[in-house]
Chains A and B, each alone.
Chain A
Amino acid sequence: MHALDKWIKEKSISRTQLAKTLDISLPTLSRYLSGDRIPKQSIMQKIITTTDGNVNPSNFYTTKIKNIAYDKYNQDHLLGIEGLVSSEITSLLDRADDIIKDNRIETIINHKYKGRTLVNLFFEDSTRTKTSFELAAKRLGMDVINMQIETSSIRKGESLLDTAMTLNAMKPDILVIRHSLSGTPHLLANKVNCAVINAGDGQHEHPTQALLDALAIRRRKKKISGLEIAICGDIAHSRVARSNIKLLITMGAKVKVIAPTTLMPQGLEEYGAKTYTNMKEGLKNTDIVMILRLQHERMQGAHIPSAKEYFKFYGLDRTKLSFAKENALVMHPGPINRGVEIDSELADDINRTLILEQVELGVAIRMSVIEHLINNLDNKKFDIINEK
């Protein structure tokens, strides 16, 4: 059953009523539901607002329906923002908020999960994400193993799935994976018994980054729904952008994407985002400006002519920021290229930027995710015991 159908049933309204609310014909609605057609941007936006984010664009790309508990995060893994509903996201954010309260009063190591294991399996370099997961797990009293890919069997030619199966046989509770190829965490999740957290896969998703960004926004602005959020930079190659767009749209924000056309992926409009190629137009009336990192290898020639030209037209400085709302805030997932995507002095202005706060919140969000997944893991085991 289509997620929208499920929602219709739950709200006990008819398809005709919904079609009327969305201002479309009944046959059009039927085509959406059968998967023959994907709603265009304006209709998608309406669907999201009408259903309070319980139906989102990803529902129109897959026929698979997962078991959604409308009050908490009930999944076995965190593989992406794709397919999550607003209540699931809210429950992850709420718990992170509580954790921050505890942490700021005093740093207590919480021995809740003593003896539990988290494995960091990073196939790509990472400073903040890996450290952040390690810290989060240690605060929960877990044992942490950092797999060194350079020295591990992967270099000896062991296949990815074999490595995962070997790790799985050691019975960890959480496997955190980062990989340069899209879809790798999903491939592993099908093969292992532990919970898998996607810490970034290729150009696909980086869900914990999007969650911590959402948390940062919510703490400063007290809400996400209704905000106008601009995401600027190399969208085409960014997993952070994809996760953020999906999350913010699901939470009811108005998402605007600003990038030169060579760095803009196809199909964003179908996701409910509006696209711009001009910073002045795109930043108008914006509450939050998210700046993405521009990779060095894309600065010469093939995607943009030079870093200089890029900064002139797309780098954020005070002049461009003035096109946004007066109290607009600046975010950046790091690491920063000063003078390429953001003006150096602006990046250091703690009144306007949330950059360091983002890093700090990262630990809390990851603790929240780990807690949820371990709880779900325990509940599942409990269910199996009960069945026996």
Chain B
Amino acid sequence: MKNEFKNNIAFINARLIDPHSGLDELGDLLTEGKQIKAIGKNLFYDGTSDNILKIDCKGHVLCPGFIDINTHLREPGEEHKENINTASASALAGGITSLVCMPDTQPVIDQIPIIEFIKKRARETNGVKIFPAASITKNIEGKQLTEMGLLMEAGAILFTDANKTIKNTKVMKQALTYAKNFNLLIMVSPQDYDLSLNGVMNGGALASKLGLPGISKVAEIIQVERDLRLLENSGGRLHFSNITTHESIIAIQKAKVSGLKVTSSTAPHYFTLNERAVDEWKTFAKVFPPLRQENDREAIYNALVDNKIDIISSHHSPQDQDSKRLPFEQAEFGISGMETLLPISLDLHFNGNMELIDLIDKVTNQPAKLLNLDTGKLKINSPADLTIIDINNSNKINLEDMKSKSKNSLFDQYNYKGKILYTIVDGRIVFESSKLK
């Protein structure tokens, strides 16, 4: 990075979008060191001094860097799929400046040394900001609670058993109740254990046709409803990730209205694709929870537009070829998602009547609010975590160009609009696409 030693960057002629303050207008932005120094119109009408790097944004969008609350980095334990270096490169190429990594690594992030390890690796990588999530139960077994308080002090940003749900209702109740002591955030990817056991795709006619064991959508709804009941009883903060069904949205919305501290998120594939992407045992379309039917896909899409789902996360789940080139039932779940987060989500703006600022809200301000982070906003003295986007650039997604170590994306050769031009973390340019040069 040749610009590493420049202390200040002047961004001029930018369309500044900041969902936190509601700002959406042309202007300039100045960073100094790691922070945002000034925001406004014609900041540099009398020119900039020579020792300032000047970037002419040419009217493109300058907004806070994205915060991805649900990613699997595969390190430690499965470095053949992804490691923190490749994940960081992938995130930055996707405009993501902060991410939360899931604890389902090997070993599981359930002890302080593992949190320390992740933090150390993040420092070494010096790219995307990594906030580790710790598991709710030891070794993600759903039995004994982890040392939540100590883990929080060590740096765990939230608590989740990743893709697994806590089968034992009593343990889940205890987790929510205990987390309240420290005002911790609990995140669940809701899926009833027994109803989803052995299932590999959405339950229904297509699963019958392909001869595959299905996961009925009821598995998700039941779990959402169970955990909402528990939350009502215990108080505390709960986040549902990977929401895929219409009924879950209704249940969560009702709980929100009644005053519960509950939020939800989904991933781009759930509002872009339906179960028919599985086609004839296409293992790239094997994700957990599974892609649902068209009416649910549409419901998720509309819920984002209507602001009933708070956050979009990539649910980045890289899998190497050998984990996918298998009979469907044996293949691993997951798609690599960080680099396609923005281009796929932009469809909500171009075809779904969603204001750009509202869309960006779901990947910046909302996750920052959920995690109590002082980033995700254009605010003086806040960290200069930024991204510049050419939202009208049409292109084709090409798996070969992906920076993630595993290129298991469902969106190969997908036509999209929206390109990340620059990504800035703590006032440092950490990604720039060759396009603007």
Binding site for B on A (CB under 8 A): 35-36, 38, 58, 61-62, 82, 159-161, 179, 181-184, 186-187, 201-205, 236, 239, 242, 265-268, 270-271
Q: How far is the CB of B336 from chain A (nearest CB, A)?
A: 21
Q: A183-B280, A183-B281, A186-B280 are in contact. Are A267 and B329 (CB under 8 A)?
A: no
Contact A186 B281 (CB under 8 A): yes
A117 to B209 alpha-carbon distance, docked (Å): 32
Chain B contacts with A in 194-251, Cβ cutoff 8 A: 203-214
Q: Is B279 an interface residue (CB 8 A)?
A: yes
| A-binding segment of B26-34, B137-145, B252-260, B319-327 | B319-327
A267 to B204 alpha-carbon distance, docked (Å): 6
Contact B328 A181 (CB under 8 A): yes
Q: Is B330 an interface residue (CB 8 A)?
A: yes
A35 to B294 alpha-carbon distance, docked (Å): 11
Contact B205 A161 (CB under 8 A): no
Name the contact of B210 in the complex, choosing from A179, A204, A268 (C-beta under 8 A).
Answer: A204
Contact B325 A182 (CB under 8 A): no
Q: A182-B328, A183-B327, A202-B329 are in contact. Are A265 and B280 (CB under 8 A)?
A: no
Q: Which B-chain residue is minimally distant from A161 (CB atoms)? A: B325
Contact B205 A181 (CB under 8 A): no
A36 to B322 alpha-carbon distance, docked (Å): 34
Q: A61-B209, A187-B281, A203-B211 are in contact. Are A182 and B329 (CB under 8 A)?
A: yes
Residues of B within 8 A of A270 (CB): 205
Candidate in B204, B213, B279, B280 with the most chain A CB atoms within 10 angstroms: B280
A204 to B280 alpha-carbon distance, docked (Å): 11
Q: How far is the CB of B284 from chain A (nearest CB, A)?
A: 13
Residues of B within 8 A of A242 (CB): 208-209, 211
Name the contact of A182 in the complex, choosing from B203, B211, B294 (C-beta under 8 A).
Answer: B211
Name the contact of A266 in the complex, choosing from B203, B211, B281, B294 (C-beta under 8 A).
Answer: B203
Q: How far is the CB of B203 from chain A (nearest CB, A)?
A: 7
Contact B210 A183 (CB under 8 A): yes
Q: Tally the A-B contacts, defined by beta carbons under 8 Å.
A: 74
Q: A182-B212, A182-B281, A183-B210 are in contact. Are A266 and B329 (CB under 8 A)?
A: no
Contact A204 B211 (CB under 8 A): yes
Contact B211 A61 (CB under 8 A): no
Contact B325 A268 (CB under 8 A): no
Q: How far is the CB of B271 from chain A (nearest CB, A)?
A: 17
Residues of B within 8 A of A204 (CB): 210-212
Contact A62 B210 (CB under 8 A): no
A203 to B212 alpha-carbon distance, docked (Å): 7
Q: A183-B280, A183-B281, A266-B203 are in contact. Are A160 and B208 (CB under 8 A)?
A: no
A187 to B279 alpha-carbon distance, docked (Å): 13
Residues of A within 8 A of B327 (CB): 160, 179, 181-184, 187, 202
Contact A62 B329 (CB under 8 A): no
Q: List 26 A-B contacts (CB under 8 A).
A: A38-B205, A61-B206, A61-B276, A62-B279, A62-B280, A82-B209, A161-B325, A179-B327, A181-B327, A181-B328, A182-B210, A183-B280, A183-B327, A183-B328, A187-B327, A202-B327, A202-B329, A203-B212, A204-B210, A204-B212, A242-B209, A242-B211, A266-B204, A266-B208, A267-B205, A267-B206
Q: Which B-chain residue is minimally distant from A236 (CB atoms)? A: B208
A201 to B207 alpha-carbon distance, docked (Å): 14
Would you list the 3 A-B pairs with minimal beta carbon distance, nearest first? Answer: A267-B205, A204-B211, A183-B281
Residues of A within 8 A of B322 (CB): 159
Contact B207 A266 (CB under 8 A): yes
Residues of A within 8 A of B213 (CB): 203
A38 to B294 alpha-carbon distance, docked (Å): 12
Contact B211 A205 (CB under 8 A): yes
A204 to B212 alpha-carbon distance, docked (Å): 7
Q: Which A-chain residue is minimally distant from B216 (CB atoms)? A: A266
A51 to B206 alpha-carbon distance, docked (Å): 24
A160 to B213 alpha-carbon distance, docked (Å): 21
Candidate in B206, B207, B279, B328 with the most chain A CB atoms within 10 angstroms: B328
Residues of B within 8 A of A82 (CB): 209
Candidate in B208, B279, B281 with the most chain A CB atoms within 10 angstroms: B208
Candidate in A38, A62, A183, A205 with the most chain B CB atoms within 10 angstroms: A183
Contact B330 A265 (CB under 8 A): no
Residues of A within 8 A of B208 (CB): 236, 242, 265-268
Q: How far is the CB of B52 from chain A (nearest CB, A)?
A: 55
Contact B211 A201 (CB under 8 A): yes
Contact A181 B330 (CB under 8 A): yes
Residues of B within 8 A of A36 (CB): 294
Excluding A203-B211, A204-B211, 12 further A-B contacts by CB distance (< 8 Å) are A61-B206, A159-B325, A161-B325, A183-B280, A183-B328, A184-B327, A187-B326, A202-B329, A203-B212, A205-B211, A266-B203, A270-B205
A201 to B329 alpha-carbon distance, docked (Å): 12
Residues of A within 8 A of B205 (CB): 38, 266-267, 270-271
Q: How far is the CB of B420 from chain A (nearest CB, A)?
A: 32
Q: How far is the CB of B213 from chain A (nearest CB, A)?
A: 8
Residues of B within 8 A of A187 (CB): 281, 326-327
Residues of A within 8 A of B281 (CB): 182-183, 186-187
Residues of B within 8 A of A179 (CB): 327
Q: Which A-chain residue is minimally distant from B205 (CB atoms)? A: A267
Residues of A within 8 A of B280 (CB): 62, 183, 186
B294-334 CB contact bits vs A (8 Å, 1 = yes)?
A: 10000000000000000000000000001001111110000
Residues of B within 8 A of A268 (CB): 208
A196 to B4 alpha-carbon distance, docked (Å): 58
A205 to B279 alpha-carbon distance, docked (Å): 16
Residues of B within 8 A of A236 (CB): 208
Q: How far is the CB of A235 from chain B (nearest CB, A)?
A: 9
Q: How far is the CB of B290 from chain A (nearest CB, A)?
A: 14
Q: Which B-chain residue is minimally distant from A238 (CB atoms)? A: B211
Residues of B within 8 A of A161 (CB): 325
Q: Which B-chain residue is minimally distant from A179 (CB atoms)? A: B327
A179 to B328 alpha-carbon distance, docked (Å): 12
A35 to B276 alpha-carbon distance, docked (Å): 10
A203 to B200 alpha-carbon distance, docked (Å): 13
Residues of A within 8 A of B207 (CB): 266
Q: How far is the CB of A374 from chain B (nearest CB, A)?
A: 25
Contact B209 A267 (CB under 8 A): yes
Contact A202 B209 (CB under 8 A): no
Candidate in B209, B212, B214, B322 with the most chain A CB atoms within 10 angstroms: B209
A112 to B294 alpha-carbon distance, docked (Å): 52
